[in-house]
Amino acid sequence: MEEKHVLILPFPAQGHIKPMLCLAELLCHAGLHVTFVNTHHNHHRLNNIKDLSTRHPTLCFESISDGLPEDHPRDIQQHITELIKSIQNVTKPLFRDLLRSQRSKASQHPVSSVITDGIMSFAIDAAEELKMKVIVFRTFSASCLWAYFCLPKLIEEREIPFPCEFKAFISSTYIIVSCYLSFCFSVSFLFFLIMR
């Protein structure tokens, strides 16, 4: 049986890289080969690459340009528009080339599927172009997802601002448990999709 090799592409921000890196580790524990693709800027900022590669021999790292100059501050709160435009113009073709080269490497297991951050939608096109499986992984929390689903109904029922009774219902314990359960379900589902 051919060993599975997954390429993971997060959006270049800490709140996206960390969850995707945790997912990469879990997939390595499950016996998959994983290539984690980062921007050059973030790749150099990761302090634990050697440690992760030692603990997970099936995990390797690649980096591509985000298109911004080296001295650019990359402050997501102030320069998000610049970063997204640069990624679309520069990173998109570089990713497509990287995916082709990873797919054709004879010295290792070829990439069989891509897990991309929802914001990095160009990875979907690139993977589908090469007839590869694609999974879009959203890195936001379960409580955020819940809010997205509930917000239209709350607006429709004129429940915003929230009544006091509702505030008591939302406790930190509830949010922590829902985030954990959502993450466990997501990882199980991803593993199922990759292995089929």
Block means of pLDDT (10 residues each) for the chain, 196 residues, are: 86 90 94 95 86 92 93 83 90 94 77 92 93 89 76 76 50 45 55 57
Q: What is the pLDDT of residue 1?
A: 54
Q: What is the pLDDT of residue 154?
A: 76
Q: Which residues pair with 8 in a beta bridge?
A: 36, 115
**Strand arrangement, sheet containing 59-64:** 59-64, 33-39, 5-9, 113-117, 133-137
Q: Is 136 helix (H, G, I), strand (E, B) or coil?
A: strand
Amino acid letter at 179? C
Q: What is the pLDDT of residue 155?
A: 73
Q: What is the pLDDT of residue 144?
A: 75
State the catalytic residues: 16, 117
The pTM of the whole model exceeds 0.75: no
